[in-house]
Amino acid sequence: MLSTGENYEIPGAEIVCDLKSAMKGSDVILTDSLPLEALDDFKPCQITTDAMIQANSGAILNPCPPFHRGEEISDDVIDSSYFVGYNFKASLLNVQQAIIAWLLCG
């Protein structure tokens, strides 16, 4: 499911414009960096600790680098137990290689 700013919808994708509704039932929350000129359009989509409470118990926040405090994710959520960014990213290449090997080998 995708939550995005208005007028940034992707055709064919399941879109929920209300962030808190989009977070319900989620285990992993992913974000992407935003261009400076789009920050205001995406302000309602900023991941905060209050938004993370809407996700499942034990949910994690895994922002795509480069991420910026106060832009796509709030300062408070980066400093929370939801955030797995730095340690998780250290293993990302190994995970991606394992997925590719699994896909190639059937």
Give domain status of residue 8, yes or no.
no
Residue type, 105: C
7 pLDDT above the threshold of 90: no
pLDDT for position 101? 94
Q: How many Cα atoms sit within 13 Å of 105 on the Cβ side?
A: 6
Q: What is the pLDDT of residues 40-86, one digit of tens each?
A: 988 888 999 999 999 999 999 988 878 888 999 999 999 999 998 77
Per-residue model confidence (pLDDT) at position 94: 86
Radius of gyration, alpha carbons of the chain: 15
- Predicted pLDDT at 85: 73
Q: What residue numbers bound the domain in which 32 lies?
A: 19-105
Domain membership of residue 37 (yes or no) is yes
DSSP 38-73: GHHHHGGG-B-HHHHTTSPTT-EEEEPSS--BTTTB
Is 53 within the bounds of a domain?
yes
